[in-house]
Amino acid sequence: MLMTANAASSTYVLILWIVLFGGVMYFTMYRPQKKEQKRVAAMLSSMEVGDVVVTTSGFYGVLIDITDDDVIVEFGSNRNCRIPMKKAAIQQVEKQD
């Protein structure tokens, strides 16, 4: 009888450790990732024509046109290089005042 009580106790301790480990994993990995995804989604939805953007490849450009999934970015000082790209390729948005 003592052995079954000890085995049941160790099972509860094991389940407690698994739940605790799952909670730690959630707060250290999943939650920050979701927070970053929300920040990026808010940044992309607040883009306006005329904003200066930085692409994931490090190029600076000015937004010329915005559609649901794509943007047209103008690069260069002579303003003759316009490239369509996905919104996901935008890394940073600098608002024009």
Predicted TM-score of the model (pTM): 0.67
Three-state DSSP class for residue 26: helix
Q: What is the pLDDT of residues 8-52, one digit of tens each?
A: 678 888 899 999 999 999 888 888 899 999 999 999 999 999 999
Three-state DSSP class for residue 41: helix
Distance CA 41, CA 95 (A): 16
Q: What is the pLDDT of residues 66-97, one digit of tens each?
A: 998 999 999 988 878 999 999 999 999 998 76
pLDDT at 2 over 50: no
Tokens of 5: 């009580």
The ranges assigned to domains in the chain are 1-45, 48-97
